Structure 1
């Protein structure tokens, strides 16, 4: 058992902060929160005087292969950014995998997961065409990873296409091999409505329902996507998904920037949850999602980083802060949303969307937690701790990270893998792969 003693400020949830508490962990769960828990009840005692202990952050949407594509595509909107940045590099990765070389896949997966661990992220959802090496990297680190299989069968360039029967076979194999293996889970994630045929979308929906897996999809990220959907189907993207009964299953809509009033009604009636990616949407100039409207409709909203090539960090402290300020700007009213609201979007709400017994610190909850040092000049002095986590917090404030009752990081040092060696090897390999890029865009045909 592990005892966190004399906690300066314990953030149990967005509304509950207690001082001078002790927290006891037994196995994977929190078993007690109280003042004066005897030290003899624990095998390890951590003095948390002056520290903030808070729930581990949950990053509901990212693309970890982009962890090695930082600093690319600063002036591009989504479609040319895909064609000039992400598609070419993805093609190189998957070509290497076809040749039996999985080093790059392992490298980007471990680099991204380590960056998130340093930022206090204890659970994440990575949306990609996932190989075994990706799951193995997360397993080696010991983190809680959800592999959302990004499924497409049209729109993407030829090097990324495979026949439908092969694609389905690979998806089923990944689900059977990795879903619920230790701390790992698998989710289903058709990339967009326009990147999948109707038949494939419904096959993916049915698989998610059958296997009780989360279901994600990029929707209405850009005005171009909405206009293209109107041209090709006569309907907006969410209207189309509703018309084919894709929304009969619980769905998390990623981005949802350009929903119409009718789509708001559909989302509310179907209980669609929303994944808000403010920094990514800002870099690509896609727009500001109407998050306050979604909260007023009673929709579940999570804040996430998206991929590192469109952020360019995997740091939810930044996305909480930027996301909060953008909403106040969009509505020209600082009272429409609070720091507590956005803190909940990075903890409790994404846990609910994933069906994960985490996101708040209570007895019986999973021991996924973060210890913060608020002593740096940018953070204090303390007044409203949750507000300061959102407005002042940085990844460098994270000292210790526990996942499933096990410390993966202490005093900013990752304990489970050789981080310096992995960073050096990963950077070298990424630069080697990037040198093979031709500089020519891979254009997706419609």
Structure 2
């Protein structure tokens, strides 16, 4: 058990903040919240939070952790050239290692990304990635709640990234059966984009998701180029194309959705499609600003995410909330567009709901996924409106302790489950061979 006493500010959700309360964690759930909880007996960890804020852990709805090895690589390319010249070469390196039986790279980038997210108060995430046993094992060691979204492709990408249809499908089934709902880990299905999958493959992925009860994600309409290519090749927009092959018949989250037309917004609302908002990534790649206010007005559920570190370059939900809110105010020229409460809800409750997690809110009976934050730093004080100040003043350095599934995985700024120093050191050592990691030399100093 964990007993948090004398909590200065407890954030239930985006609308409810209370002061001077206690919280009791028993097992992996929140047992009680109140001012009159008796101090438990022996064996309970008691933490004094008299100068702290306790809040739901952030939920990062979309990232690519392999890109943690590509920080600081190129900031002048649009998405197509960026894929071809930055990410594809590195994916080739990962696959080359995997085929040789060396999975250290996936283990370390998975670990580095998980720890960076923990330090930003992220307790759960969806990683659209090249999955391996070593990757899942690292997340489990660290103690973070991860969903490995199988990034599925069978066309457009380099031939080395695919194999026979039978082999790809068998590997997907094996991954699902081995890792879905094992410990804190889950599996999801994620066709990379509509244009990287044949109609037959999309239907099989949809049927497989339904058979195993998995969530589905896909990059959709991230750029105007993608929409134009889809119209040229199929006569339909990307979302219309997905609908035409039946992919929207099953619960689905559209990642990015920067360039949805009004017709697509209506289609998304009709099919109950959820949206994943990636403001910093869309900004760095010059993809555009997603019309999030329009989506909210259509009744769409919107979650927030960082995307990968190669297009961000931080996995920091505080920055994402700030940037995401301010972009909408600029887009609509309206200071009331996407308020602090709305964007905070996207980073917690909404993202958790889209993931299917019983988290994102601090209530009795909910999963015990939470962060303990300082409130006395000069950039945060004095406290007037807790939610606004989390969004507009908060920093990752304010996160002092993190509880996931009822276990303390970070305490007073120190990761409790693995040696962060050793993990970072080994990850840096692997990255030192820059010519191998980044074959096109996309390291500029100008």
Structure 2 length normalisation: TM-score? Answer: 0.97
1:128 and 2:129 equivalent? yes
Instruction: Quote the residue 1:211 is aligned against.
Output: 212
The one-character-per-residue Cα deviations of 1:249-299 (angstroms, maximum 9, x if unpaired) are 010000000001110110000000000000000000000000001111111
Instruction: Provide the secondary structure at the position in 1 that maps to 2:189.
Output: strand
Instruction: Quote the residue 1:415 is aligned against.
Output: 416
Note the C-alpha offset of 1:338.
Answer: 0.9
Would you say the 8 A contact 1:92–1:433 is kept in 2? no
Instruction: Quote the residue 2:196 is aligned against.
Output: 195
Gaps of 5+ in 2: none
Would you say the 8 A contact 1:317–1:395 is kept in 2? yes
Instruction: Quote the residue 1:346 is aligned against.
Output: 347
Instruction: Return the alpha-carbon distance in structure 1 between the equivalents of residues 50 and 68 of structure 2.
Output: 35
Question: Which aligned pairs between 1:233-244 and structure 2 lie closer than 5 A?
Answer: 233-244=234-245
Instruction: Return the alpha-carbon distance in structure 1 between the equivalents of residues 205 and 198 of structure 2.
Output: 11
Instruction: Quote the residue 2:225 is aligned against.
Output: 224
Gaps of 5+ in 1: 442-446
Question: Which aligned pairs between 1:243-392 and structure 2 lie closer than 5 A?
Answer: 243-392=244-393
Instruction: Provide the secondary structure at the position in 2 that maps to 1:346.
Output: helix
Note the C-alpha offset of 1:159.
Answer: 2.2
Instruction: Quote the residue 1:444 is aligned against.
Output: none
The one-character-per-residue Cα deviations of 1:404-439 (angstroms, maximum 9, x if unpaired) are 000000011000001100100011102226545432
Instruction: Quote the residue 2:146 is aligned against.
Output: 145
Instruction: Quote the residue 1:176 is aligned against.
Output: 177
Would you say the 8 A contact 2:325–2:337 is kept in 1? no
The one-character-per-residue Cα deviations of 1:366-395 (angstroms, maximum 9, x if unpaired) are 000000002211111101010000001111
Would you say the 8 A contact 1:379–1:388 is kept in 2? yes
Instruction: Provide the secondary structure at the position in 2 that maps to 1:347.
Output: helix
RMSD: 1.1
Instruction: Return the alpha-carbon distance in structure 2 between the equivalents of residues 163 and 335 of structure 1.
Output: 51
Instruction: Provide the secondary structure at the position in 1 that maps to 2:300.
Output: coil
Instruction: Quote the residue 2:4 is aligned against.
Output: 4
The one-character-per-residue Cα deviations of 1:190-222 (angstroms, maximum 9, x if unpaired) are 000000000000100111111111000000000
Would you say the 8 A contact 1:129–1:151 is kept in 2? no
Instruction: Return the alpha-carbon distance in structure 2 between the equivalents of residues 393 and 361 of structure 1.
Output: 19
Instruction: Return the alpha-carbon distance in structure 2 between the equivalents of residues 373 and 434 of structure 1.
Output: 42
Would you say the 8 A contact 2:86–2:438 is kept in 1? no
Instruction: Return the alpha-carbon distance in structure 1 between the equivalents of residues 19 and 77 of structure 2.
Output: 47
Instruction: Provide the secondary structure at the position in 2 that maps to 1:46.
Output: strand
The one-character-per-residue Cα deviations of 1:2-23 (angstroms, maximum 9, x if unpaired) are 1100000000000000000100
Instruction: Provide the secondary structure at the position in 2 that maps to 1:13.
Output: coil
Instruction: Quote the residue 2:37 is aligned against.
Output: 37
Instruction: Return the alpha-carbon distance in structure 1 between the equivalents of residues 161 and 352 of structure 2.
Output: 32
Instruction: Return the alpha-carbon distance in structure 2 between the equivalents of residues 296 and 226 of structure 1.
Output: 23
Note the C-alpha offset of 1:310.
Answer: 0.2
When structure 1 is superposed on structure 2, of 10-19 and 43-52 the one drifting more is 43-52
Instruction: Quote the residue 1:84 is aligned against.
Output: 85
Instruction: Provide the secondary structure at the position in 2 that maps to 1:225.
Output: helix
Would you say the 8 A contact 2:431–2:437 is kept in 1? no
Instruction: Return the alpha-carbon distance in structure 1 between the equivalents of residues 41 and 371 of structure 2.
Output: 22
Instruction: Return the alpha-carbon distance in structure 2 between the equivalents of residues 65 and 339 of structure 1.
Output: 30
Instruction: Return the alpha-carbon distance in structure 2 between the equivalents of residues 209 and 433 of structure 1.
Output: 42
Q: Structure 1 35/41 Cα, relative in aligned 2: closer, same or farther at 3 Å?
A: farther
Note the C-alpha offset of 1:113.
Answer: 0.3
Would you say the 8 A contact 1:70–1:309 is kept in 2? yes
Instruction: Return the alpha-carbon distance in structure 1 between the equivalents of residues 437 and 359 of structure 2.
Output: 42
Instruction: Quote the residue 1:162 is aligned against.
Output: 163
Number of aligned pairs?
441
Deviating beyond 6 angstroms after TM superposition, the runs of 4 or more aligned structure 1 residues are none
Instruction: Return the alpha-carbon distance in structure 2 between the equivalents of residues 433 and 105 of structure 1.
Output: 16
Instruction: Provide the secondary structure at the position in 2 that maps to 1:14.
Output: coil
Instruction: Return the alpha-carbon distance in structure 2 between the equivalents of residues 350 and 194 of structure 1.
Output: 26
The one-character-per-residue Cα deviations of 1:148-188 (angstroms, maximum 9, x if unpaired) are 00000001112212111111111011000000001100000
Instruction: Quote the residue 1:65 is aligned against.
Output: 66
Instruction: Return the alpha-carbon distance in structure 2 between the equivalents of residues 397 and 434 of structure 1.
Output: 37
Instruction: Return the alpha-carbon distance in structure 2 between the equivalents of residues 394 and 434 of structure 1.
Output: 34
Instruction: Return the alpha-carbon distance in structure 1 between the equivalents of residues 177 and 146 of structure 2.
Output: 16
Note the C-alpha offset of 1:129.
Answer: 2.2
Instruction: Quote the residue 1:27 is aligned against.
Output: 27
The one-character-per-residue Cα deviations of 1:346-368 (angstroms, maximum 9, x if unpaired) are 00011111111100000000000
